[in-house]
Homo-oligomer: A and B are copies of this chain.
Amino acid sequence: MKSSRRSFISTTIAGATAVSLSPLLGIAKHFTHQHGYHDGKLRLGMVVFDGFQLLDVFGPLEMFGGLRDKISIFLISEKKGVIKSSAGPAVVTDFSFDDVPLLEIVMIPGGGGTRREVNNEPFVNAFKNLVEKTPHVASICTGAAVLAKTGALDGLKATTNKRAFKWATSQGPQVNWVKQARWVEDGKFFTSSGISAGTDMALALIERLYGHDTAINIANGAEYEWNQDPHHDPFAELNGLKD
């Protein structure tokens, strides 16, 4: 079942001709009509906020950047403009929550700024709206805390940063948090463990969308030794976490 679902999604996304299959999962229609597939590219939006963690954002975007002919990458923030990372360097966002086009993939990173944003009701509500209408949703690190705060993960399995596990999981008491996992896939959600784990998860999502060979080729091009096993997570035990 799992492998047939995987191959269906791959086929759907690889071409825009799968409309007749749309009743099966409703995804093809999503991509070809509701979503912005007209320029021949999927749209990936990464949400950022002051105090975001650099590698949470740019590990995954490096890997998706290897699909330049297939995917357009955008940065999104509550208000469009210059957003400063926790380490100092600043980015310029392409869209605000108000003017972002329909996306096929949305991601949210972690970082110190999540401690503020989980209590920023307009941010959480706008992000929730984006999550609901986007077919693939991913979080990196404590980005899972903000995602959990929307309620979207309730009843689903998810993971988050291992050093900040207690705080992050407290934002979603109805989520089935997994302690030992590099990343977790449940339904349309991919949630990853701390910082670097987002890069491994991004390649898993690329594999899900475009197949194993594409993911391996991107990892090799980035000279990246991909941890392909979502259960390989030495950092859970290092932080005293065991399922």
Q: Identify the A interface with B (CB < 8 A).
A: 46, 53-55, 57-59, 61-62, 64-65, 68, 72-75, 82, 85-92, 161-163, 193-197, 220-225, 227, 234-235, 238
Contacts and interface: CB of A to CB of B under 8 A. Distances in A.
Nearest to A48: B89
Nearest to A162: B223
Nearest to A46: B89
Number of this chain's copies in the assembly equals 2
Interface of A is mostly: mixed
A196 B224 contact: yes
9 closest Cβ pairs, A-B complex: A65-B87, A55-B62, A194-B223, A58-B58, A196-B224, A195-B222, A73-B88, A223-B235, A54-B58
A59 B75 CA distance: 18
7 contacts: A61-B87, A61-B89, A73-B88, A75-B89, A194-B221, A220-B235, A225-B234
